[in-house]
Amino acid sequence: MEAPKSTLPYPPIHDKSKVVVLSDWDGTITMTDTNDHLTDNLGFGFEKRRALNLEVLAGRKSFRDAFREMLESVNMPLDECIKLLKQNIQIDPTFKKFYEWCKTHAVPLVIVSSGMEPIIRAVFESTVGVESSEVDIICNSIKVNENGKFEILFRHPESGYGHDKSQAILPYRSLPHKPILFFFGDGVSDLSAAQHADVLFAKDKPDGENDLAAYCTNMGIKHLTFKHFEEALPIVASVVEGRATVEDVLKASPI
């Protein structure tokens, strides 16, 4: 299958690394999905948003089209949305330790998101306390209209995913040394990436919106569930330090 055309550039891949961590942002690193927060509180609300997610999970609607509907329902200028999110969104309290461990051990951490770059960078800096330029962020873009309202500009507008996250992973599969790839995700935007990681971590969230884990179970994709990054860190470290193999850690997969 031909790769979808990207309207946005990609950062260089980490072709010298033996291990690469790729992670979704919303609902995985953040405790609350920023786009869900906007839709639920400023758009058409939780019930319609959740119904659309379930339509995507069932294969009856593309994520791109459902996500566009959600964002179009938000009637607030971008700068006010960012201000609201910076006031209300928190990250996994153990993520920063995970991030610092990766940095200390020269393990690249790449954020792969279906969100929009200005929002991700603003919330990343306010919550992690680190300049967002220090981390690669592969995501969608944004267009701000004269009235301040915004619309999403998809990285892969011809793809039903809008942003086909597998395209951030697959270049590593063409490298001669084939680095070990960890991917962290939580929901329907992560479905395209699910089968391409060596070790897939699916978020187990208290609100029960564990769509990625449900998809993996239904499709027979091995995965590990986690509530916080501190649970994943010993597993990642054991592989990086050579104390365990990918096959060893996947023995804990629920399928």
> Catalytic amino acids?
24, 26
Residue 174, C-beta contacts closer than 8 angstroms, at least 6 positions apart = none
Q: Are 162 and 150 in contact (CB under 8 A)?
A: no
Q: What's the Rg (C-alpha) of the chain?
A: 17
Query: Distance between CA 135 and CA 109 in Å, rounded?
Result: 7
Q: Is 59 exposed, middle or buried (0-12, 13-18, 19+ CB in 10 A)?
A: exposed
Alpha-carbon dihedral of residues 155, 25, 20, 97, nearest 10 degrees? Answer: 160
DSSP 195-211: TT-SEEEEE--TTS--H
- Beta bridge partners, 182, equal 21, 199
Distance of CA 154 to the CA centre of its chain: 15
Report in angstroms the alpha-carbon separations of 135 from 106, 111, 120, 171, 240: 12, 7, 11, 18, 20
Strands (E), 117-198: 136-144, 150-153, 180-185
- CA atoms within a 13 Å half-sphere pointing along the CA-CB vector of 26: 23
**What SS3 class is residue 74?**
coil
